[in-house]
Structure 1
Amino acid sequence: MKIEIRSANEAIIEGYVNAVERDSRLLPKIMCPEASSDFVEQVRAGAFRRALQNVNKVELMYNHEKVIGSTGSNLELREDSIGLYARAAVTDADVIKAAESGLLKGWSFGFNCLKDQWEPAGENRQRRFLEVIRLYEVSILDKKPAYIGTSIEMRSFESSGGENEGKPYVIFEKRGCHEDFEISDSSLPEKENKEQSDENSFLLHKEMCGRRIEYLKMKGM
């Protein structure tokens, strides 16, 4: 992630949201109902390009919570030979303050999967290939994502008695890609990039449960 603070009211933030054809870190199987074990994940080359062609707008968010722009206004997205590249002109005061403090850590993207494939990837491990996705948003993060993923799931409450009753299905997924970053501003003192400890499965599960509850509240369930 490269950050250029142009003024007190604007920062240019750019970098790769995700590198295609590259394994993620190991994700816990609770991330995806289709997984039978912990798994790594790759986004296929071309998946982001097709997703951008098939969507009218992709929102720019801060920590997946606050909308701070979108494509067509202050966000440019493209897929190149490396992956999904983003360039954002940010005027949000919270993001600029975080940039000035050296707190911004990377990017993440929100999507749902329309088509994927699975293969064995060693003992008690699988590899998931995301082939067709619907891209909803990209987020600037002030926490280290390191391609840690979060799924928001919803359980079926219909009493149809069918084989899928009560089974979770993923309606929205988030992934992050951590990069080293630099701040380009001669007026700022140098700051050390402090590494945060990796999130463990317990914290990930806790976050998932919290987001599931939030989603159900929005739906009035």
Structure 2
Amino acid sequence: MRIEIREDSVLIAGYVNAVERDSRALSSPQGSFVEQVRSGVWQNAINKNPDIAVLLNHDWNRKLGSTKDNLKLKEDNIGLYAEARIYDKDVIQKAKDKKLSGWSFGFKANKQSWGKSDAGTERRYLDDVDLFEVSILDDTRTPAYYGTSVEARDNEEICIEQRFVKDEIEIITADTKEEEKREDETELKLKLLNLELEL
């Protein structure tokens, strides 16, 4: 997760999930399993839902925006990539205090299949999902790699699952960006001087 702190906002970017790769071991009432999201599933989910929310800690009372305004989502050859510009003062402060811990996502599995991993563990393949939200998690959230809740949506009970991705956090402040810019300018000047010397 990359966090760029600006004066009035914070830009948070990174991978929410990697496709075609086993998750960590997940727990369920039926036992332990690993999970893979098939390639193309995320892009299909994005195409189906024009208004995917970005939340703090899966809390719908802490909606920070959506794909209609400040959240960009895409699937590439690595997986589901998210980029959100957040103007919420509390989230900006948490970023400054290094209290953001990673991404999570809430989804409903529409189509799945099962197999075995090389280690003999049950492997669940997600073939089609509905993506409702991606969440930025702070240090108050207990990292849970597997979670479900039953919610009523449009008079229908659906099982919502959540996944957490623990990530390396890189924080870039406005000062750091200025320093990088100066370093780039110095490097460019040195290259130009070397070219002049060669001529």
TM-score normalised per structure 2: 0.78
Alignment of 1:51 onto 2:48 = no
2:32 to 14, 26, 38: 38
The whole-number CA distance in structure 1 between the counterparts of 2:54 and 2:88 is 11
CA separation of 1:11 and 1:148: change in aligned 2, threshold 3 A: same
2:4 and 2:165 mapped to 1: Cα distance?
20
Choose which of 60, 64, 68 in structure 2 pairs with 1:68.
64
Aligned length, in residue pairs: 168
Matches within 5 A, 1:72-221: 72-121=68-117, 125-143=121-139, 148-153=145-150, 171-185=159-173
Could you report, residue by residue, the CA deviation over 1:87-139 in whole angstroms, capped at 9, with x for unpaired residues?
A: 10000111111100011111001100000011133677310011100000000
Match of 2:28 in 1: 29
Question: 1:102 is paired with a residue of what secondary structure?
Answer: coil
TM-score (norm 1): 0.71
Q: Matched residue of 1:21: which SS?
A: coil
Considering fraction of residues, name the structure with more helix.
2
1:24–1:147 CA contact under 8 A, matched in 2: no
Distance 2:19 2:31 in 1: 22
Partners of 1:83 and 1:17 lie apart in 2 by 8
Q: Point out the structure with max Rg over C-alpha.
A: 2
Kindly indicate whether the alpha-carbon contact (under 8 Å) linking 1:153 and 1:172 is maintained by their aligned counterparts in 2. Answer: yes
| Contact 2:4-2:174 within 8 A present in 1 as well | no
Identity between Structure 1 and Structure 2 (%): 42
Shift of residue 37 of structure 1? Answer: 2.5
Cα pair 1:151 1:170 within 8 Å, conserved: no
Q: Distance in 1 between matches of 2:35 and 2:170?
A: 27
Q: CA deviation at 1:40?
A: 0.6
Name the aligned partner's letter for residue 20 of structure 1.
V
RMSD: 2.1
For structure 1, which runs of at least 5 residues remain unmatched after alignment?
31-35, 155-168, 189-221
